[in-house]
Amino acid sequence: MSRLVVISNRVAVPKARGASGAQGGLAGALNAALKTNDGIWFGWSGEEAEDPSAEPDVQTHDGVTTATIDLAPQDIEEYYNGYANSTLWPLFHYRIDLAEYSRETGKGYERVNELFAERAAGLIEPDDTVWVHDYHFIPLGERLRARGFENRIGFFLHIPWPPTRLFTSLPYHERLVRTVLHYDLIGFQCNEWLESFLHYCRKELGAEVDDTIGKVTFEGRTTYARSYPIGIDYDHFQSVGDSGEARQAQQRMMSSTRHRTAIIGVDRLDYSKGLPERIDGLARFFERFPEGNREVIYVQIAPPSREDVESYQQIRETLEAKTGRINGEYSEIDVVPIRYVNKGHSMAELYGCYRASKIGLVTPLRDGMNLVAKEYVAAQDPDDPGVLILSRFAGAAQQLSDALLINPYSNDEIAHAIRQALDMPLEERKARWEKLNACVRDENIGAWTDNFVRDLGAV
């Protein structure tokens, strides 16, 4: 039986005591797949070193083998902060205005992909199946092929693939797509991103594309491209919800709202999440419904991310300014309508906060999937479920069509959806939730992993 080799930017390294440090979500699913297939997980350690070792740090705990390498400061700046997160990330999220194009960071991105191919070469055996993850490693499959590897190699993109007219603004865009076509199977979060990719291959490359089976033939090579909507680890998330930590978080949330309806948002501090637009939508709600500041309380949990990138510093400043302005205008002695929490919380704490909130506000401007929407659904009380308000521009909207779908750019739509959710009868809330929950439960992270690995073995 062939092994599974997973390659990603970061690796969930098991704890030294032997218990896996990855307890849920993508890390949990990949660990389970690696155990089943006696595999290895290779990636960046997250550390920098002036003179990184040429040999990966290999550890085996609880049946899972990980291999990590450090990166030099220049590599981190050019590959990670530069091309990956200042060029590809904004462009793939339709923010062409924020995308930075630099030859030096582009060279750094290619250099690090070559480095990973070189380091992975000593780990991959002839019969291994290789699964590469995300926008950090688009060219990696081609680099492995150049080294003579004929293994089955798959790639999954966790973020959107932009429309052709946006993507062609990227210098050397054709070169990048040519490299990705060296994978045997390419996975996308939803059909919209898949269709954008196939459109590019047909229109820009002149490739032969069979949309019915996602088959792309170009320069004598065949690649398959399909959608695989990622899910959450539903059973594990439910077990976390039974913990004392989750119940305590739920009680704290409920007691602190003083009989007001709690609305919750949980997002990384990232411009793709639509946080300033969401706050503007809340302001419109308070403006249109003057009693709203005593009717609801909005809790925004937004842990910082990529703080070395200037655009992320700007989004934090903007969010803090908007939150402060609204609280200044609509607060009273005993009422503060928005709570802005700029730190992370455990999965159990989030479960408790979700369950205590009667509205989940998930309004990204563009998102590959968005698992917060699915977590919110999974955490609800079946006898009195809350209402999910979801951006139609999140990949999750294609599955979770029974949520209240809104345009996150429209303040009026956000305000109207909040009013609609507050007024929704219990029977309608339960009917919507039951359909949403069935989808989240059945199309979970385990099914996603199994489907991709199965198809990669079959193509």
Query: pLDDT category, 312, cuts 50, 70, 90?
Result: confident
- CB-based contact 287:412 (threshold 8 Å): no
Question: What is the reported pLDDT for 389?
Answer: 98
Provide the mean pLDDT of the chain: 93
- Average pLDDT over every residue of 385-412: 98
Q: Is the pLDDT of residue 303 over 80?
A: yes
Q: Is the dihedral of CA 97, 163, 456, 400 positive or negative?
A: positive
Q: Is the pLDDT of residue 25 over 70?
A: no
Q: What is the pLDDT of residues 183-216, one digit of tens each?
A: 999 999 999 999 999 999 999 999 999 999 999 9
Rounded Cα distance, 346 and 246, in Å? 9
Domains in the chain, start-ordered, CATH in brackets?
A: 4-231+445-458 (3.40.50.2000), 234-442 (3.40.50.2000)
Written as one letter, the residue type at 247 is R
Of 117-126, 297-306, 402-411, least confident by mean pLDDT is: 297-306
Share above pLDDT 90 across residues of the chain, in percent, rounded to a whole number: 84
Contacts of 129 (CB under 8 A, 6+ apart): 2, 3, 4, 5, 37, 151, 152, 153, 154, 453, 456, 457
- Average pLDDT over every residue of 207-227: 97
Q: What is the pLDDT of residues 148-172, one digit of tens each?
A: 999 999 999 999 999 999 999 999 9
Q: Please choose, from the candidates 9, 455, 25, the residue with its C-alpha nearest in 3D space to the C-alpha of residue 231.
A: 25
Question: What is the reported pLDDT for 19?
Answer: 36
- CB-based contact 82:112 (threshold 8 Å): no
To which residue do tokens 């792309």 refer? 216
Rounded Cα distance, 159 and 126, in Å? 30
Of 104-118, 153-167, 256-270, least confident by mean pLDDT is: 256-270
- CB-based contact 155:132 (threshold 8 Å): yes
Question: What is the reported pLDDT for 27?
Answer: 79
Enumerate the active-site residues. 158, 367
Q: Is the pLDDT of residue 23 over 80?
A: no
Q: What is the pLDDT of residues 269-294, one digit of tens each?
A: 888 999 999 999 999 999 999 888 89
Question: What is the reported pLDDT for 247?
Answer: 97
Query: pLDDT category, 29, cuts 50, 70, 90?
Result: confident
